[in-house]
Structure formats: structure tokens, C-alpha cells
């Protein structure tokens, strides 16, 4: 049995668990079961709250909460921008930080992030320093291919700039994009397709590594804003990014980025693991 919560940020959705002392690390099958939308709870990923001191390789504050992020396919990713906002909301609602806390340092595999809970209900996260490599990369989807911008936001992204929102809308993202050179992203990549949508605005769809098309990707919106800013010849400013699941704001200043958007916990419950004592596996995933 496991206590869980379900949350989302612009409809990028997650199953959340608390395991302060890292007593129950998740294996790939467990993650796949949790994220299974029919046989399990359902989500694009899993966020497990562990104290940093129990995470191998974490050399920050051992008492800081660490966001152990998994993609729906069970793979590990360094960072999740929507996830970190939802994680901050979860820590507050579960009473895992002192009452009244509005600023929360959060450990991730990409390093420390800092989440501020804003009075308007949104969460603003310091996202570190996105790095646009400038190296040529090409993305292919079916018969078509485009040049893309490689942007590292702690996790890897390739951003394709299209001319119009209509071109973004017509893409078939049930297929996974390919990229060249393959050596550019040996551990896979998240691919964003973006188009200008007015001054300081872009529209975006994403195919996430380890998931497929999602309705939003926070690190992807930071990569999109970075690529759009570079293309526009200005690397400072605020970008509003519209995704199928809503809208977020990305601020770029001094080489750093901040991501602001909604974060909600929508359900809490208890999950029975398939095959647990007295339970058939029910055709488990």
C-alpha cells in the first residue's frame, strides 16, 4: 500500500509520494504502474519527496527536500520544471515545510532550485542557467526535418522554430522525433516545436523523452524562450509560452531563467500494489 497525491502544472501531471528516509525506492515497473492511466493512477511522471541526505551524489543541505523525478517509462531525468512547481505545492499542502513558508529550496539531479509561492497562487522557480550550445542539430518527424537549437536546462532539449502556430498544431506527435547527429543527445532529448505568437509570446508543443507528447513541459518552455530570444537577438526579457495545457511565463535575465506558472494538487489516495498480499495482479503493466 502506498499513500499518494496527484497533481499537475498546466496539465503536465504527476503522482507524488513521500519517502523522507528513502525506505522505498521505486523500480521501473513500479513507476510504470503508478503512471499507467488505466491500470494505475496515471501521470506523465512520478515525484518522490526524499530528504537530500539520503540521495547518493547530493552534496547540498542533507535536510533539503529532494525531488526524485521519474518519467512515465521509469527513466530518470535530471529536472522537471512543471514538476518542481507541483512539488513545492505538495510540500506545503502536506505540511512537509513549516506553516507560512513561501520560499522552498528543492534539490534536483540538475542541482538546487528555489521555488517561491506567489500571492496570486502561482509558483515561480529559479531554473538556473539555460545553455544554448549553438551546435547544429537536425530534428526529423516522419518525412520532414528542420534545424533545431540545442538547449540544456539541466535536462536536454532540441527546439524547432516554425513560422506559425498552425504549423505547430498540424504536427503528428504520436511519433517520436529523431535527431542528427545521434551523438548530440546520447541519453535522449525532449523536442519542442515552437512558433511566434506576438511580441514576447510563443506557442509550443513538446514530445518528451521518456513520456511522449505531453500538454506541457516546464524545462521545455525555458528552452523555447531561450531559443526564441536567441533568434530574436535579445537574450533578456519575459516570454509567455502557450502550451496545450495552459500558459507559463519565462523570465530571462543575466543568463539565468525563472519559470512561473500554476501548480495544483487535485487528489489524494491509497494505492494497492498489484500482486501485493492477497491481491491478484489484475493484468498489471
Active site residues per annotation:
80, 217
Q: Which is nearer to ligand LBFN2T5F, 40 or 210 (CB)?
A: 210
Q: How many CA atoms lie within 13 A of 23 on its CB side?
A: 6
Instruction: Give the CA distances from residue 159 to residues 21, 71, 222, in Å, rounded to whole numbers and listed in that order.
Output: 38, 20, 10
CB of 90 closer than 8 Å to CB of 109 = no
CB of 259 closer than 8 Å to CB of 221 = yes
User: DSSP 3-state assignment of 81?
Assistant: helix
User: DSSP 3-state assignment of 230?
Assistant: helix
Asked if 219 interacts with ligand LBFN2T5F (CB under 6 A), we say: yes
235 is in an annotated binding site: no
Asked if 12 interacts with ligand LBFN2T5F (CB under 6 A), we say: yes
Asked if 82 interacts with ligand LBFN2T5F (CB under 6 A), we say: yes
Asked if 80 interacts with ligand LBFN2T5F (CB under 6 A), we say: yes
Q: Which is nearer to ligand LBFN2T5F, 67 or 195 (CB)?
A: 67
220 is in an annotated binding site: no
Q: Which is nearer to ligand LBFN2T5F, 190 or 274 (CB)?
A: 190
Asked if 251 interacts with ligand LBFN2T5F (CB under 6 A), we say: no
Q: How far apart are CA 168 and CA 171, in angstroms?
A: 6
Q: Which is nearer to ligand LBFN2T5F, 82 or 242 (CB)?
A: 82
User: DSSP 3-state assignment of 278?
Assistant: coil
Asked if 240 interacts with ligand LBFN2T5F (CB under 6 A), we say: no
Site for ligand LBFN2T5F in 173-212 (CB under 6 A): 190, 208-211
Q: Which is nearer to ligand LBFN2T5F, 89 or 209 (CB)?
A: 209
Asked if 218 interacts with ligand LBFN2T5F (CB under 6 A), we say: yes
Residues 6+ apart with CB under 8 A from 17: 2, 3, 4, 5, 26, 46, 47, 48, 49
Residues 6+ apart with CB under 8 A from 54: 20, 21, 22, 66
CB of 194 closer than 8 Å to CB of 228 = yes
Site for ligand LBFN2T5F in 145-164 (CB under 6 A): 155
Give the DSSP H or E segment for 31.
helix 28-35
Instruction: State the minimum distance, in angstroms, from the CB of residue 270 to ligand LBFN2T5F.
Output: 26
Site map for ligand LBFN2T5F, 41-60, x if CB under 6 A?
Answer: ----x---------------
82 is in an annotated binding site: yes
Using CB under 6 A as the criterion, which residues of the chain lie in contact with ligand LBFN2T5F when the complex forms?
Answer: 12, 45, 71, 77, 80-83, 155, 190, 208-211, 214, 217-220
Amino acid at each position: 500500500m502506498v499513500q499518494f497525491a496527484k497533481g499537475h502544472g498546466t496539465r503536465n501531471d504527476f503522482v507524488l509520494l513521500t519517502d523522507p528516509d528513502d525506505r522505498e525506492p521505486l523500480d521501473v515497473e513500479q513507476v510504470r504502474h503508478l503512471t499507467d492511466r488505466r491500470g494505475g493512477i496515471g501521470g506523465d511522471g512520478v515525484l518522490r519527496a526524499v530528504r537530500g541526505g539520503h540521495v547518493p551524489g547530493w552534496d547540498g543541505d542533507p535536510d533539503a527536500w529532494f525531488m526524485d523525478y521519474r518519467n512515465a517509462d521509469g527513466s530518470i531525468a535530471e529536472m522537471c520544471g512543471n514538476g518542481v512547481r507541483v512539488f513545492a505545492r505538495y510540500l506545503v499542502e502536506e505540511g512537509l515545510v513549516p506553516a507560512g513558508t513561501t520560499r522552498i529550496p528543492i534539490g534536483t539531479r540538475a542541482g538546487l532550485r528555489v521555488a517561491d509561492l506567489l500571492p496570486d497562487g502561482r509558483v515561480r522557480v529559479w531554473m538556473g542557467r539555460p545553455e544554448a550550445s549553438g551546435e547544429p542539430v537536425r530534428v526529423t518527424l516522419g518525412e520532414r526535418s528542420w534545424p533545431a537549437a540545442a538547449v540544456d536546462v539541466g535536462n536536454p532539449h532540441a527546439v524547432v522554430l516554425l513560422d506559425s502556430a498552425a504549423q505547430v498544431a498540424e504536427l503528428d506527435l504520436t511519433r517520436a522525433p529523431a535527431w542528427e547527429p545521434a551523438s548530440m543527445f546520447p541519453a535522449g532529448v525532449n523536442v519542442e516545436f515552437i512558433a511566434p505568437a506576438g511580441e514576447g509570446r510563443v506557442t509550443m508543443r513538446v514530445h518528451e523523452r521518456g513520456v511522449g507528447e505531453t500538454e506541457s513541459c516546464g524545462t521545455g518552455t525555458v528552452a523555447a524562450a531561450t531559443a526564441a530570444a536567441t533568434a530574436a537577438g535579445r537574450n533578456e526579457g519575459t516570454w509567455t509560452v502557450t502550451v496545450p495545457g495552459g500558459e507559463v511565463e519565462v523570465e530571462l535575465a543575466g543568463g539565468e531563467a525563472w519559470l512561473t506558472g500554476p501548480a495544483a494538487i487535485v487528489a489524494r489516495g491509497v494505492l494497492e500494489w498489484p500482486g501485493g498480499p492477497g491481491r491478484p495482479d489484475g493484468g498489471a503493466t
